A and B are shown apart, each in its own frame.
Chain A
Amino acid sequence: MFLEIIEVFTSGLINGSVYALMAVGLTLVYGVTKAFNFAYGSFYNLGGYFAWVLLIPLGVIGGYFSVFFMAIPFFFIVGYLLEKVLISPLRKYDDWEMKVMMLTLGLSLFMDFGYQAIFGPRIKSLPGIIEGTVQVGEVVLFQQDIVIFILSLSGMLCFWWILNNTRTGMAVQAVAQNPAGAQIVGIPKDFIFAATFAISTMMVGFGGILLCQKNFVDPMGSTDIMIKAWVITAFGGMGSIRGSLYAAFILGMLEAFVGWYFGMIHVQIATLTLLLVTLAIRPRGLMGRE
Chain B
Amino acid sequence: MLKINKLNTYYRESHILKDVSVSVDRGQVVIMLGPNGHGKSTLLKSICGLVEKIDGQILYDGQDITGLASDKIVNLGVTYIAENRELFPYMTVMENLKLGAYSKNARGNEKENMAWVASLFPKLMQRQNQLASTMSGGEAKMLAIARGLMSDADLLCIDEPGLGLQPSYRVEISQIIKEISRQGKTVFIVEQNIPQLIEMADKIYIMEEGGISFEGGKYDVLNNEQLKEIFLGL
Q: Which A residues are within 8 Å of any B CB, using their own CB? A: 167, 170-171, 173-174, 177-178, 180-188, 289
Contacts and interface: CB of A to CB of B under 8 A. Distances in A.
Size range of the interface on B?
20 to 34
Nearest to A171: B102
Interface stretch (B16-24, B68-76, B166-174, B217-225): B68-76
14 contacts: A170-B102, A174-B88, A178-B88, A178-B89, A180-B86, A181-B86, A181-B87, A181-B88, A182-B88, A184-B80, A185-B74, A185-B99, A185-B100, A186-B151
B102 A186 contact: yes
Give the one of B70, B90, B91 with max A CB within 10 A. B70
B104 to A, nearest CB: 8
Q: Decide if the interface of chain A is mainly helix, strand, loop or mixed.
A: helix
B185 interface: no
Contacts of A188: 69, 71
B99 A178 contact: no
Contacts of B103: 185-186
B91 A184 contact: no
Contact of A185 (B69, B89, B151): B151
B55 interface: no
A161 B98 CA distance: 17
B95 A184 contact: no
Contacts of B69: 188
B48 A185 contact: no
B32 interface: no
B88 A184 contact: no
A178 B123 CA distance: 24
Contact of B86 (A167, A170, A173, A184): A184
Interface in B42-98: 48, 50, 69-71, 73-75, 79-82, 86-91, 95, 98
Contact of A177 (B74, B91, B100): B91
Given A185-B151, A186-B74, A180 B82 contact: yes
B141 interface: no
Given A184-B50, A188-B69, A178 B86 contact: yes
B98 to A, nearest CB: 7
A25 B159 CA distance: 37
A3 B88 CA distance: 48
A167 B102 contact: yes
B100 A173 contact: no
A173 B141 CA distance: 21
A167 B100 CA distance: 11
B147 interface: yes
A198 B86 CA distance: 27
Given A186-B70, A187-B102, 20 more contacts: A170-B91, A171-B99, A174-B102, A177-B88, A177-B90, A178-B87, A180-B50, A181-B82, A182-B88, A184-B81, A184-B86, A185-B74, A185-B99, A186-B79, A186-B102, A186-B151, A187-B71, A187-B99, A188-B69, A289-B90
A186 B86 contact: no
Interface string B185-210: 00000000000000000000000000
Contacts of B102: 167, 170-171, 174, 185-187
B187 to A, nearest CB: 17
Contacts of A170: 91, 95, 98-99, 102
Contacts of B88: 173-174, 177-178, 181-182
A180 B50 CA distance: 9
A196 to B, nearest CB: 16
A188 to B, nearest CB: 4
B70 to A, nearest CB: 5
Contacts of A171: 99, 102
Contacts of A174: 88, 91, 99, 102
Contacts of B91: 170, 173-174, 177
Contacts of A181: 82, 86-88
Nearest to A164: B95
Nearest to A190: B69
Nearest to B89: A177
A184 B89 contact: no
Contacts of B99: 170-171, 174, 182, 185, 187
A167 B102 CA distance: 7
Contacts of A186: 70-71, 73-75, 79, 102-103, 151
Contacts of B81: 184
Give the one of A182, A186, A187 with max B CB within 10 A. A186
Nearest to A92: B52
Contacts of A187: 71, 99, 102
